[in-house]
Amino acid sequence: MEKVSAEIRDVARKLLEEDKVDLIIGFEKGSLPFRATPCSIRDPKEVERLIWNSGCENNLAVYIPKKKERIGIIAKGCDSRSLMGHVKEKQIEREKLVIIGVPCKGMVDRKKVDRVLDGREALEIEEKSEELILKGHDFEEVVPKGDLLPDSCKTCTHRNPTLFDFMIGDNLDENKEADEFEAINKFEARSSDERWEYFTREANKCIRCYACRNACPLCYCEECCVDNSQPQWFGKSIELTDTQVFHIMRAFHATGRCVDCGACVRACPMDVDLRFLNKKIEKDVRELYSFEAGVDIDQPPPLSTFRPDDQDEFIK
């Protein structure tokens, strides 16, 4: 980790000193144990702030849309795929972007740490290569990192950045065994009533804080459909059906764009299962249109193109 951090700093310093970019977007040490927090660095003297560890959970691509400056950005596999989406959707010119890719073995899910601790607070967290040591008032617990991976990291098939200018460290072996859609297949096999009940339960947890939307790099619309007031498509309160419509639209709008980085899930304060919608659409897009987001920069997004022989069975 230290080696990666040092290499990131070197590249960042060079980019700033040689005036290749106006700012670097990366991670610095956060205020809570093991938390890393996004930071922008404009002065080469400040690159020492940059760090890298398994607490770098945010998808920094969220900061790209509408930026006018030349940006150097640290990108994990999923982040780089989001960046490819931004380039494709013309949110930034490729020339204005310097991507510093970092192969990633998966981040640590804060909520899973909380679940392990069950009410106790970790005052210090230490990262060893394959485990995390959680220390609190009167306990010390060693937990394998595998148990703390976010669900999206568990089934990740693109640990290595797909779009980059610099690559820090060696490429990792991709996870070939991961059954990405196992949970979705299981869910589909449940009855319609059960599925509706589950969706209802999850929507009921939502407090409409829009953290899922705002943490998502794709949600850069000038005005979100939920904020539209003329017409107001659906209500803004926590009334159940309004919340359900919001979640349907949020997932639907990410069709063929979502890279399953899990940023929405990690941002959600209420542990709403947001991924079960996104992943379903991802599966259908794969099945119907053989498309995977953020992998091939020349392949057009699935909903902005078509084939005359697209699947038609559901239409009368």
Which residues, numbered 61-120, are part of the site for another protein (CB under 8 A)?
62-63, 115, 118-119
| Contact flag: residue 139 with another protein (CB under 8 A) | no
| Contact flag: residue 269 with another protein (CB under 8 A) | yes
**171: number of Cβ within 10 Å:** 11
Task: Check: CB of residue 62 under 8 Å from CB of residue 114.
Answer: no
| Contact flag: residue 148 with another protein (CB under 8 A) | no
Task: Check: CB of residue 15 under 8 Å from CB of residue 21.
Answer: yes
For residue 2, the minimal CB distance to another protein (Å) is 21
Residues 218-257 that bind another protein (CB under 8 A): 225, 227, 229, 233-239, 241-242, 244-245, 248-249, 251-252, 255
> Residue 226 — left, alpha, or beta (φ > 0 → left; ψ -120 to 50 → alpha)?
alpha
- CA 183, CA 179: separation in Å to the nearest integer? 9
Question: SS3 for 203-248, per residue?
Answer: HHHCCCCCHHHHHCCCCCCCCCCCCCCCCCCCCCCCCHHHHHHHHH
Name the residue among 162, 189, 190 with its Cα closest to residue 174.
162
- Determine which residue in the list 19, 31, 173, 177 makes contact with another protein, applying CB under 8 A: 31
Binding map of another protein across residues 200-219, x = CB under 8 A, - = no contact: -x---x-xxxxx-xxx----
| Contact flag: residue 298 with another protein (CB under 8 A) | no
For residue 136, the minimal CB distance to another protein (Å) is 10
For residue 88, the minimal CB distance to another protein (Å) is 17
From 10-18, 79-87, 147-155, 190-198, give the range in contact with another protein by CB under 8 A: 190-198
